[in-house]
Structure 1
């Protein structure tokens, strides 16, 4: 069977499906996953262990043999906990083959092979009987099937099947129950991730298309580290509402359901956003609780457990509405087998409240399909928009012919509003093109702007009506870019269009620079930290797999992370480590850069943060990384709009901060690949 994997191609701006060789190592997928984060989540592991011990004890107290079914066993950790707690036998189900192989190795290494059977199947394919996977039905059901939305990984269908086919009636379940909570808030910050807001352009007002304002938006959850959203950036309009609970010890239904919670509005405001999270009761009494609540709900926020495999959810109401203090409201959550959605009704009106939608909201305006939520935030960033408008104003003339190269960008609209003679825009898809046309139509700007769905290398003078380009502009933003430097696709576009540019054409941005800073992460380091032992069990085979992955690669790679969600301290100064001149065509030969970043602060260096800055003009720069200078203590404030690159060191380095050690770096930009090879090492004097 052929294997294909998606790979971003920075030279074409496309997502290519590449056939992997037979040597493709799927252990890399494990290495890049968050298993290390789960294994390092002591709060989760401890609560599961407590719940498992209690469940096994209850079954033994009834004089019964303890047979456990562990669905989604992963490393086999929970199965080993069950046997250690006294279970007679455990069936551990894992559908992902490399992970099932890892679980077999870990179970054998810990001496549990005689009491734990690893089953490499989806749980709905597991059978019971003399010739089946299970010899008998289980009386203890252990699962870890949850995601940030609770049910997004198919927990409900899996539970439904298990109760009908794989476990005894009245079985014990760990966790025993899950409860979903929600809070209605007003937030300019979070609201900017859902709708395009009006933009001021030198006294004129650019309005979003009416279809966008009426659209219910994307149904998918927005999962983030809500602990990093300051309570000062939103206003609670409701108390924390208990929306619904699911009892996992009884038959579970995956059919559509809705649940409502009534409350009185706490203050006047605009109902925009729902903040949501859940907790797990590991036992029937609810005395063992594993909570996903953000840190600012804790009396002492620093005591809140950190985890990345489970975060918190943000939902956007289909329609924003004004509420007044004291108003009686009803918040309704609906769910099918895989997702949740919310609606709000007023109970104080004489007319009957609007019924909750029975089907998931879906985008009808195209904007929520073209623009991601961080992209909405970027387009609504007034400071950033003003930088582009000032830069455009400095290069535009009455006879300017502009060409914009960015996906779903408002730059063509801005250029037309600023008086450019003719504006062209290259769009990567029909949907993106139609969306920007809606924006132009809503603001009576269609005249003088032409959007083309054509690749840069295929553009001809005829497509431009015989005109030559006097201003080539880009944000740059491309939907297929994964790492910060993938936006260098703009450079490839500029080179492909060289024959259509006037000799004195302005290029905006004129250049870009790659920046780096060595950092100490508060928590993110956990996702790549060695596991060794976990709750007393040897899970080192996971570390061996990660190391195997790293050795398999030609060089260690950076990975994308939204660093505003993951606090870190800078241990060195930030520095531009490479510069790319967009006023010239892309070179044929590789570009290399070498240097070092001396440690200026004491701390544990986990890796290097990387980002791009775009120099629109000589004095206007837009950063996709740090948005403010690093503080004296090393605190960093990161852009929420783009992901930054993170290169994790294989082993953390303890810095004394006296300048006696440094992070040495080597970068090579390969024009033929459009990617940057990099290496880092610690050097001492």
Structure 2
């Protein structure tokens, strides 16, 4: 999306390439082609470097390492409900001789719809003598791909493609005159996060005629008060930690927000937790945004909501509804499936369905109510104060009885505050996880004198736990992501956890290796990690093998009988039926009559990849991926031995199917074996909802069964193999039918 504020890859699945939010790429001209500078992250070191990518390779029929294959473009373009709604609205709005501007053109789908509508419409709405569609897209690889799509559909000469952000366009230079119609899709799950408001403001000020038409025409956000223990655990560490009884206090009394989540809306597939949600209000309207007018950057509203049941409000679940045409006949909703009747829409006049096929590019949003939430009684009035800025929406709640706003409890230096993801907060508040860690560490310390312990990762829990349990040991925390924040946090919680900072330090100057000069002439007796690296939450599970890399760099400082925890990692896999996820990434043919088959190889589409090209492994919360079914036992594919320095390794496993069905791919994760006796194994598989798994989708789904079942056709077994390359941190996964 070549908007003023954002870029389409802000909606991408996290991968090894990170891009600046405002200026995601830099290009330079050469005699032969343009090249792209990308900031590439090494997941095993956390280091990044600028690399030059040959643009021509990225849009070839068989790109060697396609940058776009791990984005959400496929998911978005496979959303037939979205595509149909935009096509119908564009057909109604765009007529002959219009000047149309498409901001954030992507593959050019909306631009092509507009050009096609212009050729078949009349000239009533737009009195100009010549029509033109201008497609604005800032990301060069997508521009090159778009040109291929336009050429395939014979529309290359009818659409003017400009490789710029919308705020870089100049009337009289890039565009001959202001546009009569704006078509765009720069919406995220929250609605505003991709810069909708600043983009519309600039467009109305500089790029559009007065009273311009827009597709979409309007968006309205809605919300609902809910009770959910699962959602509560994702943010209230203080009250959940109290149940652990292990005398480790990550959030001491009086410092309830010293470790917290960021106050923002979190995108989530709320249908996946439908059975765990208790609705405490009717849906209510929050904000309305008219795209045909210049929007305000700031707005506030006070809503009075009656509780429909007794309970505790743990969160506000929100979604939005698009009205794509000015007459109000074409709509699109991101509402959860429990919402059956749209609001402010005449259902008798307008065919409407809020529930469509599963898609990942738009979800519902969750706003967590701090602490234990707010207790309400049936018919009690709750006051919701909603605020939107130019990029976000936030809420405050209070009841009529208390008139007390639900907010932060404690006052302390913000320098000490740590912001973690909701899933990490839930893990740290999970009594079972904490007990496993405590047991493993206690068993390791029993009968041993640990003079020096190094916490290799960003685990504040382990740093505190070791300092609390081993009064004689010196603890060095590397905290590669937390750094000074980690030091300030430990200083703030040291007293209540019974240790002094003269026994705990955070290494400030991280090097490629650690020597005894850094460890006060001591050898490391215990090297430990969860493993957890700050900022890695959205990455693939094996990217936490950074622990193995760190262990290797510390090799010269390790004692001969050093204890390493975890002592190994095990790559697990399970064959699964995941139809919704597979369909969201299936190959594209014609979208509303416009051929997109040329993009499949570049976008890594399932079902249409060249023989030599493998689809990517992608990180997902599998439990949120719609319909899922396990088709095999959990398999061990390979092991990573942390007692030795990092090295290339590989493994394979025979998959015997235990259920009949359609196999769409394999779900992979790592189990961390904490001790040599295999007594404590911490799994990150789908059974636990706080970790993402890696998903390797098949090019084509296969029908499977098991020996002895009624099925006489299909595949009964297959082989999966994996190889790990420590130089890049990549795990290559393949399967072979047997």
Give the match for residue 317 of structure 2: 275
Give the match for residue 364 of structure 1: 414
Give the whole-Å Cα distance in 1 for the aligned partners of 2:540 and 2:604.
Answer: 23
Secondary structure of 2:328's aligned partner = coil
**Residues 410-489 of structure 1 correspond to what in structure 2 (within 5 A)?**
410-426=461-477, 427-428=479-480, 429-446=483-500, 449-453=503-507, 455=510, 458-461=513-516, 464=519, 468-479=523-534, 481=536, 482-489=539-546
Give the match for residue 679 of structure 2: 620
Give the whole-Å Cα distance in 1 for the aligned partners of 2:279 and 2:474.
Answer: 44
* 2:566–2:674 Cα contact (<8 Å) kept: yes
Match of 2:217 among 165, 176, 187: 176
Shift of residue 538, structure 1, vs aligned partner: 0.7
Give the whole-Å Cα distance in 1 for the aligned partners of 2:603 and 2:489.
Answer: 43
Select between 299-308 and 177-186 the one with higher mean Cα deviation. Answer: 299-308
1:194 matched to 2:235: yes
Select between 313-322 and 274-283 the one with higher mean Cα deviation. Answer: 313-322
Shift of residue 41, structure 1, vs aligned partner: 0.5
Select between 336-345 and 148-157 the one with higher mean Cα deviation. Answer: 336-345
User: Where in structure 2 are there 5+ consecutive unaligned residues?
Assistant: 1-27, 29-34, 60-65, 122-130, 342-351, 708-713
Shift of residue 271, structure 1, vs aligned partner: 4.1
Give the whole-Å Cα distance in 2 for the aligned partners of 1:441 and 1:301.
Answer: 57
Shift of residue 280, structure 1, vs aligned partner: 0.3
Match of 2:111 among 79, 83, 87: 79
Give the whole-Å Cα distance in 1 for the aligned partners of 2:80 and 2:271.
Answer: 18
* 1:469–1:502 Cα contact (<8 Å) kept: yes
Give the match for residue 570 of structure 1: 630
Match of 1:668 among 723, 729, 732: 723
Give the match for residue 273 of structure 2: 229
Give the whole-Å Cα distance in 1 for the aligned partners of 2:535 and 2:261.
Answer: 21
Secondary structure of 2:533's aligned partner = coil
Give the whole-Å Cα distance in 2 for the aligned partners of 1:157 and 1:467.
Answer: 56
* 1:422–1:448 Cα contact (<8 Å) kept: no
Give the whole-Å Cα distance in 2 for the aligned partners of 1:663 and 1:514.
Answer: 17
Match of 2:649 among 591, 603, 609: 591
Shift of residue 660, structure 1, vs aligned partner: 4.4
Select between 389-398 and 199-208 the one with higher mean Cα deviation. Answer: 199-208
Paired residue total: 653
Give the whole-Å Cα distance in 1 for the aligned partners of 2:336 and 2:487.
Answer: 39
* 1:294–1:304 Cα contact (<8 Å) kept: no
Q: Give the TM-score normalised by the residue count of structure 2.
A: 0.79
Give the whole-Å Cα distance in 1 for the aligned partners of 2:55 and 2:146.
Answer: 22
Give the match for residue 632 of structure 1: none
Alpha-carbon displacement from aligned partner over 1:297-350 (angstroms, at most 9, x marks no partner): 34899953322111121223467653331443221221221122211233445x
Select between 137-146 and 543-552 the one with higher mean Cα deviation. Answer: 543-552
1:261 matched to 2:318: no
Match of 1:40 among 55, 75, 78: 78
1:294 matched to 2:336: yes
676 and 309 in structure 1: CA distance in 2 versus 1, 3 angstrom threshold? closer
Give the whole-Å Cα distance in 2 for the aligned partners of 1:259 and 1:39.
Answer: 35
Secondary structure of 2:460's aligned partner = coil
Shift of residue 277, structure 1, vs aligned partner: 1.1
Select between 594-603 and 290-299 the one with higher mean Cα deviation. Answer: 594-603
Alpha-carbon displacement from aligned partner over 1:36-70 (angstroms, at most 9, x marks no partner): 112110111111122223324xxx6xxx8544332
Give the whole-Å Cα distance in 2 for the aligned partners of 1:641 and 1:29.
Answer: 27
1:143 matched to 2:194: no
* 1:176–1:247 Cα contact (<8 Å) kept: yes
Shift of residue 295, structure 1, vs aligned partner: 2.4
Give the whole-Å Cα distance in 2 for the aligned partners of 1:367 and 1:553.
Answer: 49
Give the whole-Å Cα distance in 2 for the aligned partners of 1:162 and 1:397.
Answer: 67
447 and 68 in structure 1: CA distance in 2 versus 1, 3 angstrom threshold? closer
Give the whole-Å Cα distance in 1 for the aligned partners of 2:79 and 2:616.
Answer: 25
**Residues 212-611 of structure 1 correspond to what in structure 2 (within 5 A)?**
212-213=256-257, 217-232=261-276, 234-253=277-296, 255-298=297-340, 304-317=356-369, 322-325=374-377, 326-349=379-402, 364=414, 367-369=417-419, 371-397=420-446, 399-401=449-451, 402-426=453-477, 427-428=479-480, 429-446=483-500, 449-453=503-507, 455=510, 458-461=513-516, 464=519, 468-479=523-534, 481=536, 482-498=539-555, 500-546=557-603, 557-567=616-626, 568-582=628-642, 584-586=643-645, 590-611=648-669
Select between 212-221 and 562-571 the one with higher mean Cα deviation. Answer: 212-221
113 and 593 in structure 1: CA distance in 2 versus 1, 3 angstrom threshold? closer
Select between 444-453 and 431-440 the one with higher mean Cα deviation. Answer: 444-453
* 1:387–1:620 Cα contact (<8 Å) kept: no
**Residues 57-206 of structure 1 correspond to what in structure 2 (within 5 A)?**
65-85=97-117, 86-87=120-121, 89-128=132-171, 131-197=172-238, 198-199=241-242, 204=247, 206=249
Give the whole-Å Cα distance in 1 for the aligned partners of 2:56 and 2:414.
Answer: 40
Secondary structure of 2:320's aligned partner = strand
Shift of residue 655, structure 1, vs aligned partner: 3.1
* 1:215–1:364 Cα contact (<8 Å) kept: no
User: Where in structure 1 are there 5+ consecutive unaligned residues?
Assistant: 627-636
* 2:260–2:418 Cα contact (<8 Å) kept: no
Shift of residue 75, structure 1, vs aligned partner: 1.8
CA RMSD between the two structures: 3.5
* 1:298–1:304 Cα contact (<8 Å) kept: no
25 and 272 in structure 1: CA distance in 2 versus 1, 3 angstrom threshold? farther
Match of 1:19 among 30, 44, 51: 51
461 and 347 in structure 1: CA distance in 2 versus 1, 3 angstrom threshold? same
Secondary structure of 2:487's aligned partner = helix
* 1:211–1:365 Cα contact (<8 Å) kept: no
Secondary structure of 1:523's aligned partner = helix
Alpha-carbon displacement from aligned partner over 1:334-379 (angstroms, at most 9, x marks no partner): 1221122211233445x7x76999xxxx99365543x222211221
Give the match for residue 13 of structure 2: none
* 1:265–1:323 Cα contact (<8 Å) kept: no
* 2:704–2:716 Cα contact (<8 Å) kept: yes
642 and 97 in structure 1: CA distance in 2 versus 1, 3 angstrom threshold? same
Secondary structure of 1:142's aligned partner = strand
Secondary structure of 1:107's aligned partner = helix
24 and 609 in structure 1: CA distance in 2 versus 1, 3 angstrom threshold? farther
Select between 150-159 and 550-559 the one with higher mean Cα deviation. Answer: 550-559
301 and 171 in structure 1: CA distance in 2 versus 1, 3 angstrom threshold? closer
Give the match for residue 646 of structure 1: 695
Give the match for residue 67 of structure 2: 29
19 and 97 in structure 1: CA distance in 2 versus 1, 3 angstrom threshold? closer
Give the whole-Å Cα distance in 1 for the aligned partners of 2:235 and 2:56.
Answer: 39
